[in-house]
Amino acid sequence: MCRHLKSGPSVTKRSVYGIFSSKVAIRFACEVWVLFLGWLPRRTNPAKHPSVSTERAGGHLHLHIEEKSSVRPVIIMAITLLRAASLPGLRDAAAGQHVCSYLPNNNRRRRWILCSLKYACLSVDPGPGEVSPVYSSLTVTPAGEAVISSEQKVYDVVLKQAALLKRHLRPQPHTIPAIPKELDLPTNGLNQAYHRCGEICEEYAKTFYLGTMLMTEERRRAIWAIYVWCRRTDELVDGPNASHITPSALDRWEKRLDDVFTGRPYDMLDAALSDTISKFPIDIQPFRDMIEGMRSDLRKTRYKNFDELYMYCYYVAGTVGLMSVPVMGIAPESKATTESVYSAALALGIANQLTNILRDVGEDARRGRIYLPQDELAEAGLCDEDIFNGVVTNKWRSFMKRQIKRARMFFEEAERGVTELSQASRWPVWASLLLYRQILDEIEANDYNNFTKRAYVGKAKKLLALPVAYGRSLLMPYSLRNSQK
């Protein structure tokens, strides 16, 4: 018999989400904001201060900020939220609902939106063809101290990857192009290495492999090499020898990764990746982060909230998107920012991993693992014992609907970015997106029974998805379609 805890903020870490759900806190935050904005015009040029509007919808407060100068609403928001968090009596606010909303912007000024009350996440209203990035994402401890959320930590990595790619694409007429280091391999050894990577990809990811056949040979082989490294890394903790894997084994694997990036491959599969790295602007950080995700699997079986789960999903799947963008390439006609394309690739990885988690709830539970936000389970009146018992109830259906809705939101975010990729690279990505999203449909078709039934997409549906994915790969980039309206 499990004891259901009363939903609410954690004792050790309370988010701004809880603060804002309190009527008193809302009033306080708005009053502070109004006072600040009332003082600002007297100290600065009135034409330059940000304008703020609020809207009540569905019992929630929506905040809208328009930036007219370099005065960053991020700072104003952070100050307001942190002051609110430090007030006695506000730390026990009950949890409310996640709000992510903004009004259409009809003028050309940049518009900041509060995209997450739970993590006080500020973002920019996306323009045509853009994916809105996270600019500020804060949680607050009981002491009123700001804590950077997983969203912001991951977005910092996204910015770094985008900057690396932009530097690579920037014309540099006064520099001599770097000559890739020749690997010490037998005659035709590199071709054999790539061929073996292709065989592994075809064996374990047939649909994706078929899609890669439309890519140029150099890009196709590079994607195979990345796929194989990711699969080998995943097999360390999920493969047949997983019970024998220790943290020190992962440390050795990471040291081996360093050798791959410095042109010292251990075997032929490593050699394919090492050659790929010499040809594309691929950074080592996402690879290291994936290994960190494997370390997490060795020591962690529960996730307190979605913030923790988001970081895990980034480690084990979002990283794949960041690795792949430099190889896939961005369409030369695309008007989207490099950062938005990386953000979409990240979103697809997060969506795929959330789908994996929802599909494998029963399988993971039999291994003693629960990859679901503990606080959201408690809000739904569920606990670990309900998962282990594996009985589908109305509470479980309600909980699953919320989780599926979130995964679909990440898929929707990813869709725009796929259209911005090089046309020859879009088909395998579209195929992956459409097929994985159909797994969510199958979970619903199974009446949310992911305890004893494994949701999968049948061969007929897979075959039907391929021409649909190919058709979508031929569409012009989303950023161009919007600019022509």
Mean pLDDT for 412-418 is 93
pLDDT 10s digits, 20-68: 344 445 555 555 554 554 454 444 444 444 444 444 433 334 444 444 4
In 10 A of CB 31, how many CB atoms? 11
pLDDT on residue 22: 46
The mean-pLDDT minimum among 16-20, 99-103, 346-350 falls in 99-103
Range 283-286, long-range pairs (CB < 8 A, 24+ positions): 283/160, 283/161, 283/164, 283/322, 284/257, 284/258, 285/157, 285/160, 285/161, 286/157, 286/161, 286/319, 286/320, 286/322, 286/323
Mean pLDDT for 57-81 is 44
Find out whether 311 and 381 touch, Cβ atoms under 8 Å. no
Mean pLDDT for 281-301 is 95
Mean pLDDT for 88-103 is 34
Cα–Cα dist 248/230, whole Å:
19
The mean-pLDDT minimum among 35-49, 103-117, 215-229, 393-407 falls in 103-117
Mean pLDDT for 87-95 is 35
pLDDT on residue 384: 96
pLDDT 10s digits, 319-339: 999 999 999 999 999 999 999
Tell me the β-bridge partners of 148: 138
In the chain, helix, strand, coil percent, each to 5? 60, 10, 35
Cα–Cα dist 312/294, whole Å:
9
Cα–Cα dist 430/468, whole Å:
9
| Helix 247-261 with 268-279: angle, nearest 10 deg | 50
User: Please, what is the average pLDDT of the chain?
Assistant: 77
Q: What percent of the chain has pLDDT over 90?
A: 54
Burial-class residue 36 by CB neighbours within 10 Å (0-12, 13-18, 19+).
Answer: middle
pLDDT on residue 401: 97
The mean-pLDDT minimum among 20-34, 45-59, 134-148, 188-202 falls in 45-59
Cα–Cα dist 167/164, whole Å:
5
pLDDT 10s digits, 240-273: 888 888 999 999 999 999 999 999 999 999 999 9
Q: Which residue has the tokens 């991993």?
A: 353
- Please, what are the domains in the chain? 157-169+184-475 (1.10.600.10)
Position 385 pLDDT exceeds 80? yes
